[in-house]
Amino acid sequence: MADSSWDNNGQPMQRKQGMSIWAKVALGCGVVFLLGMGGCVVLGATCTRAIGKAMDGREWGQLQAAVQQLQTEEGCKALYQSNPDLKQAYPTEENFLQQAKIWRPKLEPLPPQMPSVFTGKISYNVQVNGGFRKVELGYTNGIGGKVTSRWENGRLQMISVD
């Protein structure tokens, strides 16, 4: 006859082999957490790269040319005359030329390619509204001079050196 009792007749209980159910749940949650963190790191790096590429630096070449022109008296005159919107910041050519003389010791040529905004040498702010593009672009050079400029639809509105 078969024994229908739940009793093991005094034999010691055998422990189950392997991890408990709670250890398995904790391990599963840990794996999900690590995968989630890894995904966040990858997403953050991808977004950072995309932001860096989105800053196309259209005005960088123009700023390079402007900084080069600021280094000579003739260049300053040409810069002021070719950018009539500078009159908002500097009402007369003479005012602009006097400022440029003060700026010259703090100037040096800009690098050929716009540095990454993550170097700390660039400040770059772009606003686009209804096709109107406003850019504030700044660069701190190796001798501590900071060139600051404002462009509206590709036209120089303001430039200064601190």
In the chain, where are the structural domains located?
21-54, 58-161
* Domain covering 58-161 in this structure, CATH number: 3.10.450
Alpha carbon distance 25, 35 (integer Å): 15
Least confident of 67-76, 95-104, 121-130: 121-130
Please, what is the Cα angle at 25 between 19 and 27, to 5 degrees?
75
- Report the alpha-carbon distance of residue 136 to residue 49 in Å, rounded: 21
pLDDT confidence of 91, banded at 50, 70, 90? Answer: very high
CA distances to 5, 30, 86, 93 from 98, in Å: 106, 65, 14, 9
Across the range 53-66, mean pLDDT stands at 76
pLDDT of 50: 56
Summarize pLDDT for 104-147 with one digit per residue, the tens.
Answer: 999 999 998 888 878 889 888 888 888 888 999 999 998 989 99
